[in-house]
Amino acid sequence: MSDTKTKKTEEAKQEKYYTVTRSKEDKHKAVISITIPEDAVKRSYDKMIAQEMSKLNIKGFRKGTAPKEMFENGMKPQVMASMFDQLAPYYVQGAVMKEGLKPVAPAKYLELKDFPNEPKAITFEVEIIEMPDFKIGDLKKVKIELESPEATKEDIQKTLENLMQQFPASDESKEVNDAWAKETAAKVGFKAENLKDFEEEVAQVIREQKMNYAVNKGHEDLVAKSIEASGIVIPQEAVDFEYSQREKQFMDQVQELGLTVKEFCKRNNVELKDLEARWETESKNALESDVFLRLFAQDRKVEVTEEELATEIDRVRHSRAQMKDNNEAMYQNPEWVEYIRGIVLKRKSYDTFVKEVMPKELQKLVDELKEKQAEAQKAAIEAQVNAAADAQNDAKEDEATEEVKDSKDDESKESAPQEKSKKESKKLE
């Protein structure tokens, strides 16, 4: 929050200018009735009038010197509305801070009755929704069903059929046989020389894909079951706000592409209603996960050390070093630093949670995947090293060839005068 905003919010907290009413049906819903004092309204109104008048050019008057009445006559209601839009949030924030409320969504302004057209005291109401209090459930009772990662005969057969369509047999036999398998293996990077070995390599790929799916779904199910065990239910108002943020981000992206929503959906072969359903689900899941992981961190006393925070800030700084909008001042901003601390805390809380509740079967798959990824990374590095070595050897061979060529050229140049002398001697004879 900027110094100006902080000052205005602090001013708004100086006196009791509001009342708070709790809902009997929902104790996490509060209505704050706020009265902005007349003197505060008049100060802000006069300041806004002066700012607007300074911009006016009226014939017969120097810029900004026209009588105040000339401007006020037709603009007073608009100025009052603009002044309220600027002033009200500071009083709402002041009340929220003073009462120690923790909204899960922006304050909802209720219908404003008897709004004055003159600079007088303004009374209005806002609705605040707080996050309910939750407690971590018994996570020892959390059980999940793990998807089998094994490649079935149906999986292999379907994959072979897809590959046959993508890589038809050169003899147009359209048969999945040893010849086709050997030919296709070379195209997809397999080593198989016959159909049996080809099927085994296909099965390995399928198994690794299913392992990835099983691990990801296993983690998702662990979180979902733990959220359920902890009785976490997110207020719809919070979901709606998160949804609106995702919708806005989507609209901004579409606008940047220079498309309409209809054009974007047609180009990406997607229905808007499907996107909206996905935003709703993602919003709910994201909020549930966030609440659960913060609650878990608090319950298990997970904290972020200054060293961990500094490491993450350095990582972000390094990743943004070449970006045009990179601003060093950002890394010193207290609000930004706390935002990064929250990200690290959530990540650390998740890692701690997974270690505590992960079943042995899932851990076994995770370890196997890590081993395969390490092997793949090692193979990739070896391939890069070998390619570099081959390139270096090729360069040396080319250099040696050039040296031999140069040497022969030098010998040719040295022998040329001698040959010429011999020919001349013969002619004299």
Kind and range of the H or E run holding 36:
strand 29-36
What integer pLDDT is reported at residue 428 of this predicted model? 46
Type of residue at 198: F
Kindly list the averaged pLDDT for each block of 10 residues, start to end, along the chain of length 429.
52 67 84 93 87 67 59 76 91 91 90 84 92 92 93 95 89 83 92 94 94 95 96 92 95 95 95 96 95 95 96 92 80 90 95 94 91 84 80 72 63 58 52
Is residue 18 classed exposed, middle or buried when 0-12, 13-18 and 19+ CB atoms within 10 A define those classes? Answer: buried
Residue-range domain boundaries for the chain: 3-129, 132-233
Distance CA 102, CA 132 (A): 10
What integer pLDDT is reported at residue 387 of this predicted model? 80
Q: DSSP characters for 291-331?
A: HHHHHHHHHTT----HHHHHHHHHHHHHHTTT-TT--GGGG
Q: Rg of the chain over CA atoms, in angstroms?
A: 36
Four-way CATH pick for 3-129: 1.10.150.110, 3.40.190.10, 3.40.950.10, 3.30.70.1050: 3.30.70.1050
Cβ atoms of 225 and 146 closer than 8 Å:
no
What integer pLDDT is reported at residue 151 of this predicted model? 94
Name 108's bridge partners: 127
Distance CA 87, CA 82 (A): 9
User: Hey, how many other C-beta atoms are within 10 angstroms of the C-beta on 346?
Assistant: 18
Cα dihedral across residues 106, 112, 115, 120: positive or negative? negative
Tokens of 346: 């959530």
Where b means 16+ CB within 10 Å and e means fewer, 137-161 reads: beeeebebeebebebeeebbeebbe
What integer pLDDT is reported at residue 429 of this predicted model? 46
What integer pLDDT is reported at residue 416 of this predicted model? 56
Q: DSSP characters for 118-134?
A: SS--EEEEEEEEBPPP-
What integer pLDDT is reported at residue 66 of this predicted model? 57
